[in-house]
Amino acid sequence: MAHDTLTNAQMRDIEALVHPYTHAASLRQTGAHMIASGEGIYVTDEAGRRYVEGLAGLWCCGLGFGDAELVEAAQAQFSRLPYYHLFGGRTHEPAIELAEKLKELLPMEAARIFYGCSGSEANDSQIKLIWYMNNVLGRPEKKKILSRKRGYHGVTLATASLTGLPLNHEDFDLPLEFVRHLRCPHHWKEAEPGETEAEFSARLAAELEETILAEGPETVAAFIAEPVMGAGGVIVPPEGYFPAMQAVLRKYDVQMVADEVICGFGRTANWFGSETFSIAPNSMSMAKQLTGGYFPLSAVAMDRRMAEAVEEGASRNPALGHGFTYGGHPAGCAVALAALAIYERRDIVGHVRRVAPVFQARLRAAADHPLVGEARGAGLMGGLELSPEPGRPAAFAQPGKVGARLMEEMLARGVILRSLGDTLAFCPPMVITEAEIEEMMAPLPEALDATH
Ligand code: PLP
């Protein structure tokens, strides 16, 4: 039974919707929080209360919530051509222009771009197209995909399997058989006593090699990783991690897939997380900030070998048997082009470089609080992990409860954030100013004191 203080709209919501990532029984008590409008880094709820959106929606609204240029780009494209597809050899100008622009911007020699609508679709396409490639290359055994515990790559059957979080597997009968999850590269939690970050990275690379050899290198196709893990708890890789891992991958011709769905387009103070963490990807997945979150669009960038193999497969077969009705939607491509133009014109990367130290310093100042285990982050992403033992990794008796309470305390003080287990995640719109960072972080000490 729903609580009798719920509004009519909240009652209708409960009866009409299944909410993703929501505890259903609790929702019946509290009702959903109805958001009505947005402007800049703020959103306003139906009760008229304004909040700092400290997670940019779901890590996607890098330009905030009221960017008129993005809206105009969508409107203009909707008037000209509201829909077209890329099937059967059709195309349209926004799709071509965006692919060209991405090829210019990406930190890899991207030969071709393939469009989807979501991060999950991009990563699902990665798996399928890598399998397709390996069949074309005459190595049909090479199909296993390595990912990492706490990695997040989506929720389709295949991408939820890549995701390394128990919530996405339990009761869904996942993961599927083709995935192997490697150790999470979280130095604070996983390093041996006294082990430096560089030593830890070397150990993880050695474990990667052991896994590849145990599985048989001829069976291992790819390794997928977020430059900074997002939904798994904002986990920044230890020093030297990706170069050490990639040395092993190269040795066994295992493809490096960079999942830039969160890190892409400025978030880590470079255009791509791959630049920040010295990743040389063979293929990349992008979504979210690609359109500033205003339109569902994703993209896979592939290197020449992958692009040529896909082309050969699509010639050998009657057609490429893969594609989404709305992949490369003209309005989405137009919005993405507008977003990229704004990122360039307003030098968003430069802005993030200027304000990120202010944010990171404010976050790290919270590390002294007795409830905090670790404060960490990169660029305009941050995680505050709570622990029953100050400064040390340890699990609470009821995992996730204290983190959720801190999130509520911040909400009560006007800041929307997201708790990932007992880590409070920050990922504000990249356009946030220093004064707004102050506004977002100011309630934190009091909210921590109020959290039990
Ligand atoms: N990859 C990463 C790194 C993500 O953070 C997400 C979503 O949060 C996804 C993939 C899945 O994207 P979507 O929710 O658009 O399917």
**ipTM summary value:** 0.99
Distance CA 246, CA 264 (A): 20
Residues recorded for the chain = 452
Q: Cis ω on the peptide bond leading into residue 175 (within 30° of 0)?
A: yes
Mutation choice for ligand 1 from 161, 168, 262, 297, CB with most ligand atoms inside 8 A: 262
Token pair listed for 327: 């992949």
Question: Which one-letter DSSP state was computed for residue 184?
Answer: P
The packing angle between helices 241-251 and 197-215, to 10°, is 20
Closest CA to 269 of 307, 314, 301, 236: 236
Quote the ligand 1 centre to 211 CA distance (angstroms): 26
Pairing mode, if any, of strands 42-45 and 50-53? Answer: antiparallel
Around Cβ 50, how many Cβ atoms within 10 Å?
13
Quote the ligand 1 centre to 118 CA distance (angstroms): 7
Ligand 1 proximity of 271 Cβ (cutoff 6 Å): no
3-state secondary structure of 149: coil
Quote the ligand 1 centre to 143 CA distance (angstroms): 22
Distance CA 353, CA 336 (A): 22
Token pair listed for 39: 């402007």
Distance CA 195, CA 56 (A): 35
Q: Which amino acid, residue 372?
A: V
Distance CA 21, CA 323 (A): 27
The arrangement of strands across the sheet holding 220-225 comes to: 112-116, 298-302, 283-286, 255-259, 220-225, 144-148, 179-182
Distance CA 452, CA 447 (A): 10
Chain mean position to CA 347 = 22
pLDDT number for residue 329: 98
Ligand 1 proximity of 336 Cβ (cutoff 6 Å): no
Q: Which run of H or E residues covers position 343?
A: helix 330-345
> Measured at the alpha carbon of residue 18, what is the angle toward residues 17 and 19, in degrees to the nearest 5?
105
Within 8 A by CB and 6+ apart from 131, the residues are 143, 221
Around Cβ 18, how many Cβ atoms within 10 Å?
6
| Residue owning tokens 């339109």 | 295
3-state secondary structure of 322: coil
Task: Say if residues 259 and 285 touch (Cβ distance below 8 Å).
Answer: yes
Give bridge partners of residue 258 from the DSSP assignment: 225, 284
Mutation choice for ligand 1 from 153, 274, 277, 326, CB with most ligand atoms inside 8 A: 153
SS3 letters for 105-124? HCCCCCCEEEEECCHHHHHH
Handedness of CA 167, 232, 392, 54 (dihedral sign): negative
Task: Say if residues 255 and 217 touch (Cβ distance below 8 Å).
Answer: no
The arrangement of strands across the sheet holding 372-378 comes to: 372-378, 381-386, 423-426, 418-420
Pairing mode, if any, of strands 283-286 and 255-259? Answer: parallel
Nearest-atom index, ligand 1, CA of 287: 15
Ligand 1 proximity of 120 Cβ (cutoff 6 Å): yes
Token pair listed for 83: 């829909």
Domains along the chain with CATH numbers: 33-66+347-450 (3.90.1150.10), 70-345 (3.40.640.10)
Nearest residue (by CA) to ligand 1, atom 12, is 119
pLDDT number for residue 118: 98
177 burial class (0-12, 13-18, 19+ CB within 10 angstroms)?
A: exposed
pLDDT number for residue 322: 98
> Measured at the alpha carbon of residue 264, what is the angle toward residues 262 and 265, in degrees to the nearest 5?
125
Ligand 1 proximity of 436 Cβ (cutoff 6 Å): no
Tens-of-pLDDT digits for all 452 residues of the chain?
Answer: 445 699 999 999 999 999 999 999 999 999 999 999 999 999 999 999 999 999 999 999 999 999 999 999 999 999 999 999 999 999 999 999 999 999 999 999 999 999 999 999 999 999 999 999 999 999 999 999 999 999 999 999 999 999 999 999 999 999 999 999 999 999 999 999 999 999 999 999 999 999 999 999 999 999 999 999 999 999 999 999 999 999 999 999 999 999 999 999 999 999 999 999 999 999 999 999 999 999 999 999 999 999 999 999 999 999 999 999 999 999 999 999 999 999 999 999 999 999 999 999 999 999 999 999 999 999 999 999 999 999 999 999 999 999 999 999 999 999 999 999 999 999 999 999 999 999 999 999 999 999 98
Give bridge partners of residue 301 from the DSSP assignment: 113, 284
3-state secondary structure of 433: coil
Quote the ligand 1 centre to 65 CA distance (angstroms): 19
Ligand 1 proximity of 262 Cβ (cutoff 6 Å): yes
Quote the ligand 1 centre to 337 CA distance (angstroms): 21
Token pair listed for 375: 């404060």
